[in-house]
């Protein structure tokens, strides 16, 4: 079973690739918290790195997963550049449940948070070709049950970004808000939000209080009405994995 958390589709696409090669199933991590996983012999966790650590949603979900201690557990972290403390953190969360993280690795993908700093994530699609061979090696390692933890150490940048004082200053930069004047109530943002954090009221979208800064709403909004720092994201800067659509994000679960 491959359990994933994904906003703009990078982790979803990689989960599907791993599941296809291993003859397994990819499932949204939040849905897996209600599943009986005790008979699973191999469990994969695929999620992005946010601010040098795991997304808050993953931090909340992993302790709820019913993973058997005997399972071969691996983690693959799609990230713009650095995995930060993400693998170290998930290893610690699993250990608290008596589960060993047997294998871990990162793979670089376009950084969807780049829009928060005025950059275009679509200029990073070269990463797919450059790191395709690494993903093949990762899948081969998992297929052979290797026990190796790449990028699993604790680091200072991740610890600094996790400090409450730092988060109070930085997280608002990547926390979206809806411009009601541009919103047409199409509901796309509500469909793609993995947190179920967006609702429609009087044909207008409204963001709740459980945002995990995945930015799916920012990238998929056809009117560029979901904004960061009060600024619209140019259409040409909106990004999602080229093999992932809104329908894919809504469908959520995939079999080989």
Q: What share of the chain in percent tops pLDDT 90?
A: 77
Backbone angles phi, psi at 24, to 5 degrees: -120, -170
- Cβ neighbours for 77, distance < 8 A, ≥ 6 positions apart: 46, 47, 48, 49, 83, 86, 87, 104, 105, 106, 107, 151
Segment 61-65 mean pLDDT = 95
Q: How many CB atoms lie within 10 A of CB 124?
A: 18
Going by pLDDT thresholds of 50, 70 and 90, the confidence category of residue 66 is: very high
Going by pLDDT thresholds of 50, 70 and 90, the confidence category of residue 255 is: very low
Q: What is the largest CA-CA distance in the chain?
A: 54
Instruction: Give the lowest-confidence range in 21-35, 47-61, 156-170, 213-227.
Output: 156-170
Q: What is the DSSP letter of 53?
A: B
pLDDT for 165: 78
Q: How many CB atoms lie within 10 A of CB 133?
A: 9
pLDDT for 252: 57
3-state DSSP call for residue 76? Answer: strand
Task: Output the six-digit token pair for 180.
Answer: 């009601």
Q: What is the DSSP letter of 233?
A: P
Per-residue model confidence as pLDDT tens digits over 135-191: 999 999 999 999 999 998 888 877 777 777 777 777 778 899 999 999 999 999 999
Average pLDDT over the chain reads 92
pTM of the model: 0.92
Question: Of 175, 199, 187, 205, whose CA–CA distance to 55 is shortest?
Answer: 175
Please name every residue paired with 204 in a beta bridge, in sequence order, or none if there are none.
201
Per-residue model confidence as pLDDT tens digits over 111-137: 999 998 889 999 999 999 999 999 999
Question: Of 236, 194, 207, whose CA–CA distance to 12 is shortest?
Answer: 194
Backbone angles phi, psi at 148, to 5 degrees: -145, 135
């Amino acid at each position: 079973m491959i359990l994933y958390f994904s906003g703009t589709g990078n982790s979803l696409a990689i989960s599907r690739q791993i599941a296809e090669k291993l003859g397994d199933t990819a499932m949204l991590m939040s849905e897996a918290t209600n599943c009986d996983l005790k008979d699973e012999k191999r469990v994969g966790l695929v999620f992005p790195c946010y601010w040098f650590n795991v997304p808050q949603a993953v931090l909340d979900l992993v302790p709820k997963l019913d993973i058997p201690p005997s399972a071969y557990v691996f983690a693959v972290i799609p990230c713009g550049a650095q995995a930060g403390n993400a693998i170290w953190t998930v290893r610690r969360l699993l250990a608290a449940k008596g589960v060993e993280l047997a294998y871990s690795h990162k793979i670089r993908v376009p950084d969807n948070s780049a829009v928060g700093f005025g950059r275009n994530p679509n200029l990073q699609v070269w990463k797919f070709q450059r790191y395709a061979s690494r993903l093949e090696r990762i899948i081969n390692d998992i297929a052979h049950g290797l026990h190796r933890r790449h990028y699993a150490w604790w680091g200072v940048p991740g610890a600094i970004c996790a400090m409450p004082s730092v988060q109070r200053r930085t997280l608002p930069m990547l926390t979206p808000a809806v411009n009601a004047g541009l919103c047409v109530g199409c509901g796309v943002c509500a469909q793609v939000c993995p947190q179920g954090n967006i609702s429609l009221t009087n044909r207008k979208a409204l963001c709740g209080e459980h945002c995990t800064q995945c930015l799916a709403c920012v990238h998929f909004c056809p009117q560029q009405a979901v904004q960061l720092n009060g600024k619209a994201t140019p259409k040409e800067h909106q990004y999602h994995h080229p093999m992932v659509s809104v329908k894919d994000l809504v469908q959520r679960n995939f079999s080989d």
